[in-house]
Each structure stands twice: as structure tokens, then as C-alpha cells.
Structure 1
Amino acid sequence: MAGRYHLTLTALAQPLMHGWWDDGRVARRKFTSWVGQHSDRPDARITLTDEETGARLTEWPDPR
């Protein structure tokens, strides 16, 4: 079964990577790592979602 915290990387409107973790701290560290590794991709978007609540926890780039 997949973990509670779902991390996705999309670029050019295509899903490239997914990851699931049970520990929110680990998922947030992975989020930071993915931003560092993949921020140079054209049109990259990285999103961390709590699958239990459906809440989007963080997103890069920041949509604000």
C-alpha cells in the first residue's frame, strides 16, 4: 500500500516521478531534494499531497 504523503513531479504536462511515504518529515525532505534535483526542467512542478486529507501541503514553484 502506498504511503500517506504523495510526491509528484511533472514537466511539460507529463508525469515524470511519483513517491509515497508514511512519514511526513521524510516526504518533506524528499520534496526539498526533488526541487534541488529537478528545478532546471522546463515547466517543472513538484507537489506534496496528504492523501489521507486530500490537502496539498506544498508546491514548487509556489503558485502565489
Structure 2
Amino acid sequence: MDRYRLTLAIGARTIMRGWWPDLPTAERKYLNWIGERGSVNGARVTLADEAADGRVLKSWPSD
């Protein structure tokens, strides 16, 4: 099972999801998604730990 989940949402709509087994890869993808899609109005990227009941580890933009 892939442990770390990334979600890209624009407004209330989920646009993309991805899962990775290790944190370094998931963090690298998190930064890539911000760089590639962060300029879209209303974009939000979250990195969650599925093994910890979906606990959000990082969120962009920060609350």
C-alpha cells in the first residue's frame, strides 16, 4: 500500500491525487505540484499520511 497521498484541489473540486510509498518521494512531488500548478487561482496542495488516518503533513498555501 502506498502510504503518502497528495491531493490537488481547485476550489472545492479535486483535480488530481497521487500516492507514494516513501516520504522523500512524496515531498518532492508535493513541491513539484506547487511549482507546476501553484499559480492557478484557488489551487491547494495537501500531503497526507494514510497510515495515520489521513493526517495532513503539509498543506499549501498554509492556513
What TM-score bracket applies, with the shorter chain setting the length?
Answer: over 0.9
Aligned length: 62
- Percent identity at matched positions? 42
Partner residue in 1 for 2:39:
40
Higher helix proportion: 2
Gaps of 5+ in 1: none
Displacement over 6 Å in runs of 4+: none
Partner residue in 2 for 1:14:
13
Under a length normalisation based on structure 2, what TM-score does the superposition of the two structures give? 0.93
Letter in 2 for 1:24: L
Instruction: Kindly report the root-mean-square deviation, in angstroms, between the aligned alpha carbons of the 2 structures.
Output: 0.9
Under a length normalisation based on structure 1, what TM-score does the superposition of the two structures give? 0.91
